[in-house]
Amino acid sequence: MPKKNSCTPVKNILKNIYLNFRKTLLKVVAMFIANRKVPDLETGQGIQKILFMRIDRVGDLVLSLPALRALKQKFPHCELVVLASPSNQSLLLHNPYVDAVLTYDQKNSIRNKLRIIKQLRSHRFDLAIDPYLDYELKGALISFLSGANKRLGRASYGREVFFNIEAPKIKDDQHFVDSTLAILEPLGIRAGDRTPEIFLTGNEKRWAKNWLQEKGVRSNFIVGIHPGAYYETQRWLPEGFAEVTYRLKKNNQLDLVIFGGPDDEDLVARICSTIGGEVPTYIAHDLRRFAALAYCCNALICNNSGPLHMAVALRIPTISMMGPTNRDRWMPIGNIHTVLRIDDLPCIGCNLGYCKIETHDCMRLITSSMVLGAVEDILQAGNK
């Protein structure tokens, strides 16, 4: 099963107590840290090596790709190194704006984590950037331990103690891409291009075409279906995906492929057993192969999750279901995407990992007919 965000009201109270205590404690720690503020970096003087950290989830990395492009365009002669997670690092392969990728595994032992810190220090970074938007300390602490003499990151419950460049405050209605780009403003970067991009090789595209042919997928219109999501509350109902798959399967104008992550095998099997008959499935243990297969699709039906933002970066039209997610922050970028959302619910966009009214109406009220209508619109647009 996927990891659940189970922050109940009681847990939220305890979390707030902890965070405020931590903030007070870190203010005391700050008295013992020589942390001279850096006033101006717009000229880039003295910056030869940059560390950019994105050690969290796939979607967060994908939506940070415009920031990596903007950094390299501003400082083309600098070495840009990204510290990524095991789950997202492969998406940086063949990216012309990234010079090197290092991997930080949060599941590693303390010994291995110290080894990574030693490796970071050996690079002698001039600037470390932690674009993380929440309260966790990992990125802030790593940036400090990296040895970089200039460190840029967000303030949140004491995280600011480990940075010496002040980042702009986050706006509530700001898209994740724009928030990540905004952190670069102290460097004189105000990027206009906010579209993420994943770079596939010719061999990867050929592998995907061969795989589809072997599975009997030969039509000119392929619909991918990905029912997974990191948080369970962000998932549309499995029976909804099953009904859409069953009805699309009868349409002889198109072919289907069902995707899933390593934690979605049971979910995919449940959908397939419900509809009866064969539908090609791909459980993505290799993100780049999923990206290559998605690239061959004419549309992807999914939840608001990592696969959605990967499809956006591949310029694939998407149909996504959005419930508790913050709309302004997580909307897919571009006018080729359809977002299905029940906007008139009083609790819509609560951004919680549990349903406080215990109905999950924000997802339950999205119907298969709404999804099928969106597919038909894309199909008709492709036939014009």
pLDDT of 354 strictly over 90: no
Contact status, residue 307 vs residue 290, Cβ threshold 8 Å: yes
Largest CA distance in the chain: 69
Give dist(CA 353, CA 241) in Å, integer.
Answer: 21
Q: How confident is the model at residue 232 (pLDDT cuts 50, 70, 90)?
A: confident
115-143: per-residue pLDDT in tens?
999 999 999 999 999 999 888 999 999 99
Q: How confident is the model at residue 268 (pLDDT cuts 50, 70, 90)?
A: very high
pLDDT of residue 42: 66
Give dist(CA 260, CA 275) in Å, integer.
Answer: 17
pLDDT of 12 strictly over 90: no
Give dist(CA 226, CA 208) in Å, integer.
Answer: 17
* Residue 330 one-letter amino acid: W
The CATH class for the domain spanning 202-383 reads alpha beta
Give dist(CA 142, CA 113) in Å, integer.
Answer: 10
Q: How confident is the model at residue 48 (pLDDT cuts 50, 70, 90)?
A: very high
Map residue 366 onto helix, strand or coil: coil
159-191: per-residue pLDDT in tens?
999 999 988 888 878 999 999 999 999 999 998
pLDDT of residue 7: 56
pLDDT of residue 43: 67
- Could you tell me the fold of the domain covering 35-187? Rossmann fold (3.40.50)
Residue intervals in the chain for CATH 3.40.50.2000: 35-187, 202-383
